[in-house]
Structure 1
Amino acid sequence: MIPKIENFFSSKPMEQPQDEDVELKEPANEENVEVRKITFHEAGFRDGSRNSGSPLALSICLNAIYAKFQNEEKELVEKQKQAKEPYLNEKSEKEIEIKALAISKTNKEEQIKTVEGNIRLVKDTIEDLKFEINDLVRNPEKYHISASKGASTKFWIGLIILLPLSLYLFTFYISTSYSAFFKQFDATSTVIMNILDSKAFEKAWKDGGLEGAFVTFIPFVFLGLGYLIHMFGENKSWKNYTKIGLLFLTTFIFDAILAYQIEESIYKANREIDSPPFNLWIAFSKIQFWGIIFAGFVVYVIWGVVFDFIMKEHREKDKIKHEQQRRQKDIQIHKDRITDIESQKEILITELANIKESTVKAEGRIIELQRIIDSVIIPTKEYVLYASEYVKGWITFVSEKLRISQTEKNNLQNDCIACYHENLKNVGASDDAQNAVYLPAL
């Protein structure tokens, strides 16, 4: 009987190497294998006879055989080296992979830092633009904008002045145009009543649609002339100055015509038998003639100056407003840019997380491979081959030499087979595993 041997090793099924094409070389040729099988068969027969086929003794003997087999395999240095070669290769590949992942990790972290720096720069630019929007009104020259400070205040003051002047011109020209072209003068009326008729607009529309439309729209003629004067004044040139002079002359002549018509109608209404015919010299001698001209023309000139001033202030105001709007658009563009950069950052963070995860997996695999390399690799299929022969010899003794009933033999044989399978399970020998890895127990 083979003496009881304590098992100083713990075991687990070995992980198959990733390179499935690697085949472990057998230490002996087929003839030696057959001889060794016969030797194990005979040893099983002999030990079975010494222990009367006891299943308990078989279990102890199988443990001893495996311990001996394990020690023999441990001493086969070249065979162990060949068995561990695929694991060494895989470990080298994983180490190279970890180095590459470390480089990728560093690159991704640098890219993330660069992206974060870009985001900070864009946000700082947005803050600067917001400050400029508020500061443009106070300090336009700081941003090389030729706009006066307080343009908005001047604009509103000019507009407040322009509105009543416009209403005055509407009233004046409606009244004077009605008096000049449509009114029937009365010698009993005062001069003011003949020149300025408070009901001129109403009377004109009562006289007919043509008369009403004429007195309604004639003020726009003068306002249009004032607008043209402003437009020609936009571009400084002798040609435009000549046009402006002609427009002023036209307005003056038109006012003079209105004054002449009114004075002529008044003169005829108050004419005596010996009075001379009305002429230009008589008109020039009448104070109300010049009063009508200056009450219209001078106010018109004032209106034109105020209108021109308002338009210039509005243009100054528009410069600042345009710059503010341009900066608002720039802010929106920068915000969209931040969104795009943050999307890139999220992608980089995801890629960095994947790199770290792959690194952890590779490091874990290296630890597993190193444990395999530091352990003893046992060819479990070889052990199954020899252990089965040993059990066959043991059962052969039970079947042929042991003098007991057939039922007892069958039960004993079944118990021996169960011990055999239990031993294979304990040592990690199965149909799926060609080798097993055994680590020294602490």
Structure 2
Amino acid sequence: MGLLKSIAQIKPTKKPDLETEKPSFEDQKVTYHEDGRSTSRLCQGRSENLQASLSAIYHKFENNCKKEEEEQIKLKQPYVTELKGKKTLMLTKGEELQREKEKLEEKEKKIDKLKSDIVNVRRTPQDYGIPVERKSSSKFWIGSILLLFLTVYIFIFYISTSFSAFFRTFDPSTELFGGMFYPKAIQEAYDAGALELGFILFIPFVFFGLGYLIHVFMHKHSIANVFKVILLFITTFVFDALLAYLIDEKLYNLNKTFEDPEFSLSVAFSSPSFWVIIFAGFVSYIIWGLVFDIVMKEHADRDKIENYVISLEKEIKNLLQITAKQNEIIESLEKALSESKIRCAELEDIIDGFILPIRNYKALSSEYLQGWQECITSEIVLGPDQTKEYLNECRIVYDNHISQLDLDTDDYQNKVYTKTL
């Protein structure tokens, strides 16, 4: 007895580990298998007991997962990484969105200013560097009205004088103004033939063409153009003098007596009617040319304003196309930011919650079922049909358990329980 007592005192005692090592997954499978077998033995393999046992082991597995912080940190690491990436992306997208909004605001302000300029440039073109007189618009309309009436007058004058000079036969009752203005000129030219009618209808355009050429040459300052303008005035004067000479000759010969000399240039120059006809046409032609020049100048000023307005409208159109694209970019960025915010909220909920490795649970619970069924087939005395019925009922209970927990899918490894659940 003393020897045995001394041996017992010498035998070293095993100290318990301060930190219990976590069993491996294979060890856990063995444990679940044995637990399923022993529990099945106690309740004789009944399926209703299996249902309660499966619920119990699920809650135990779930609680263990919640307690295993290191495992949870490992499982949550992909979500943490994704959250960091999303926040970085949101920061970048937010800065880009702010820049695009600033650009859009700048373009919209520029568009508003251009629209305001379109209104103001018509009122005060000088403020925009356009050399236009303030009263150019009124001068243009007044000149246009005068030009219209002068054009009608010149048409009547040259149609009448041309017909009287080249085709008309005067009667003794014809006076000076009856020689210049003949109301039946067009009708009688029409009766005479198409050539006569065309001649008197288109001859005024010769003078309008000369007036247009004078306007063009006067605006191109050079010695050659000065000579051209002088030549055009001389040509017009000579043509008017020719018409006056022919009409005055016909009037002179109509009233001529035997004592009167033959009609000549000297007689024409001394005749008041000759000069009246010239100046009735030539002076009105000069006035028409001056008014035409003023109207064209004011029209050019209006063109400067209109061209400036057109350039502003083109710029507005281009800016609107740019702003439309920027709005699309802003909408795209806002959508991406909204989606990222939603995803970040989901990731934060996941990180604050816990992750259940469902494949691990299905593997362990499957081992538990196998242990349960193994006990039914090897340790519980039943008939072949009853054993088969017990096994089928247990399988149905297990499948329903997995289905109720929404674990009957292999599409994902883990099931996430967020803090909002």
- Cα displacement (A) at 1:179: 1.8
2:26 maps to a residue whose letter is: E
In the alignment, which residue of structure 2 is the partner of 1:121?
106
Q: Is the 8 A contact 1:259 1:293 kept in 2?
A: yes
Amino acid at match of 1:26: E
Q: Which region of structure 1 is more displaced relative to structure 2, 162-171 or 378-387?
A: 378-387
**Structure 1 equivalent of residue 5 of structure 2:** none
For structure 2, the residue ranges without an aligned partner over 5 or more in a row are 1-22
| Cα distance per residue 1:260-299 (max 9 Å; x no partner) | 1122222222222233222211111111111111111111
Gap regions ≥5 residues in structure 1: 1-22, 400-405
Deviations 1:39-84 (A, max 9, x none): 998x789x86xxxx8789x959x96xx88xx79x97xx9xx79xx7
For residues 17-55 of structure 1, the C-alpha deviation after alignment (integer angstroms, 9 at most, x for no partner) is: xxxxxx9553499xxx79x96x998x789x86xxxx878
Q: CA deviation at 1:383?
A: 4.3
1:138 counterpart = 2:138: no
Superposition pairs of residues 85-100 of structure 1, within 5 angstroms: 85=71, 88-100=73-85
Q: Please give the alpha-carbon distance, in whole angstroms, between the structure 2 residues aligned to 1:242 and 1:436.
A: 101
Whether the 8 Å contact between 2:161 and 2:179 is mirrored in structure 1 is no
1:235 partnered with 2:220: yes
- Aligned with 1:305 (options 281, 290, 301): 290
Q: Cα 1:189–1:425, aligned 2, differ >3 Å: closer, same or farther?
A: closer
Q: 2:11 aligned with 1:26, yes or no?
A: no
In 2 relative to 1, CA 55–242 (structure 1 residues): closer, same or farther, beyond 3 Å? closer
* Mapping for residues 16-95 of structure 1, pairs under 5 Å: 25-27=25-27, 85=71, 88-95=73-80
Asked whether the equivalents of residues 284 and 290 of structure 1 are also in contact (C-alpha less than 8 Å), the reply is yes
Partner of 2:19: none
Give SS of 1:166's match.
helix
Q: CA RMSD in A?
A: 4.4
TM-score by length of 2: 0.74
Which residue among 175, 184, 189 is the counterpart of 2:160? 175
Name the counterpart of 1:320. Answer: 305
Distance 1:120 1:129 in 2: 14
Counterpart contact for 1:44–1:389, Cα < 8 Å: no
CA-CA distance at 1:213 after TM superposition: 1.9
1:262 aligns with 2:247: yes
Match of residue 213 from structure 1: 198
CA distance in 1, matches of 2:284, 2:180: 17
Partner residue of 1:353? Answer: 338
Q: Aligned equivalents of 1:204 and 1:332: distance in 2?
A: 56
Q: 1:433 to 1:380 in 2, by over 3 A?
A: farther
* Aligned residues between the structures: 379
CA-CA distance at 1:119 after TM superposition:
2.3
Q: 1:24 to 1:261 in 2, by over 3 A?
A: farther
1:249 is aligned to 2:234:
yes
Q: What amino acid is the match of 1:248?
A: F
Match of 1:7 in 2: none
Q: Is the Cα–Cα contact under 8 Å of residues 75 and 355 in structure 2 kept in the other structure? A: no
What's the CA shift string for 1:154-188, capped at 9, x where partnerless?
Answer: 11110111111111111111121122112223344
- Aligned partners of 2:399 and 2:160: how far apart in 1? 124
Measure, in 2, the Cα distance between the counterparts of 1:44 and 1:24.
Answer: 22
Deviations 1:294-313 (A, max 9, x none): 11111110000000100111
Are the structure 2 counterparts of residues 415 and 253 from structure 1 closer, same or farther at C-alpha, using a change threshold of 3 Å?
Answer: closer
Write the distance in 1 (CA, Å) between the matches of 2:310 and 2:414: 77
In the other structure, the counterpart of 2:175 is 190
The equivalent of 1:340 in structure 2 is 325
Please give the per-residue CA displacement for 1:126-156, whole angstroms capped at 9, x wherever unaligned: 2111111110111111111122223222111
Query: Relative to structure 1, is the Cα distance of residues 88 and 24 closer, same or farther in structure 2, using a 3 angstrom cutoff?
Result: farther
- Cα distance, 1:433–1:26 mapped onto 2, change above 3 Å: farther
Question: In structure 2, how many angstroms separate the alpha carbons of the residues matched to 1:384 and 1:436?
Answer: 21
Structure 1 counterpart of 2:189, which letter?
A
Per-residue CA deviations over 1:304-350 (Å, capped at 9, x if unaligned) read 00001001111111111121122222222222222222222222222
Which segment drifts farther, 421-430 or 325-334? 421-430
Matched residue SS, 1:26: helix
Q: Report the secondary structure of 1:306's partner residue.
A: helix
- Equivalent-residue separation in structure 1 for 2:277 and 2:49 (angstroms): 140
TM-score w.r.t. the length of structure 1 is: 0.71
Cα deviations by residue, 1:183-219 (Å, 9 ceiling, x for unpaired): 2233443333234323222222223332222222111
Q: How far, CA to CA, are the matches of 1:432 and 1:262 in structure 2?
A: 119
Q: Give % identity.
A: 33
Q: Which amino acid aligns with 1:94?
A: Y
Q: Tell me whether 1:294 sits opposite 2:279 in the alignment.
A: yes
